[in-house]
Amino acid sequence: MNYCRHRGAEPAQGCGNARRFSCPYHAWVYDTKGQLVGMPLRDRHDGFDLSPYGLVELPSEERHGFVWVVLQPDHPIDVAAHLGELDTEIGELGCDKMQYYSSLAEAPLSANWKSVAEGLLEGLHVPFVHADTFNLNPQAANVDLAFMDAIGPHVRWGLPMFGQDEAHKLRATPESEWRPEESIGCIWLISPGLLLANELYGLIYADLTPGFGLSEAYLRYG
């Protein structure tokens, strides 16, 4: 965690590459593994052991192109078990082969984070709230045809990515020839607050976290 073990300031600032990170508050110095390797006036404190004061390490795992983290030290992590039936489905999105488009945005919200998640899992508001953006996508014409599946603690929500004419053609096509991965847009809410949405132009992700109060939330998306 990017919090100095002395007084909680952030040793790593901004973006880039570095071999050492010096806390801006009292100049405690950490290496890339989070170990405390230096501090001012150390020569006046003979015998002071730096090893217990490294940055707190959180359990993490890289899977399906994402780094998953548990916000509790020493807690076990098993992403495949957490995703359950969705593990294969998320893997088939191919996120590990996608090119990251740096458009990360962050927004504080005056709402409970669970209410925000519920709002992202219905499309009836799209023609009114997103008239000049998402409403321009072809699938916006089918917001009343959405489906929702509860999969353990997770949710899959989706709707067709084609218009009414294509829907009539699909009815005349044998079900064995359907290609849902090419014709259905989905949003996955991965418990507790990760949303993935496959769009015609790529994949959108959003990370929802609670704020300090019941009516506060924080949204990061890109």
Q: pLDDT-derived band of residue 128, with 50, 70 and 90 as boundaries?
A: confident
Residue ranges of domains in the chain:
1-57, 99-221
Find out whether the peptide bond into 192 is cis, omega within 30 degrees of 0.
yes
Q: pLDDT-derived band of residue 59, with 50, 70 and 90 as boundaries?
A: very high
Which CATH number applies to 1-57?
Answer: 2.102.10.10
- Cross-strand pairs, 189: 155, 195
DSSP 125: T
Same fold, 1-57 and 99-221: no
Average pLDDT of 95-122?
Answer: 83
Please state which architecture CATH assigns to domain 99-221.
Alpha-Beta Complex (3.90)
pLDDT of residue 200: 66
pLDDT of residue 118: 84
Burial class (CB in 10 A: 0-12, 13-18, 19+), 168: exposed
Average pLDDT of 194-205?
Answer: 81
Q: What is the pLDDT of residues 88-108, one digit of tens each?
A: 999 988 888 888 776 677 888
Q: List the structure tokens of 190.
A: 């991965």
- Within the chain, what is the greatest distance between any pair of CA atoms? 83
- Per-chain mean pLDDT for the chain: 87
Q: pLDDT-derived band of residue 129, with 50, 70 and 90 as boundaries?
A: confident
Model-wide pTM > 0.85: no
Q: pLDDT-derived band of residue 139, with 50, 70 and 90 as boundaries?
A: low
Distance CA 157, CA 197 (A): 9
pLDDT of residue 80: 96
Q: pLDDT-derived band of residue 131, with 50, 70 and 90 as boundaries?
A: confident
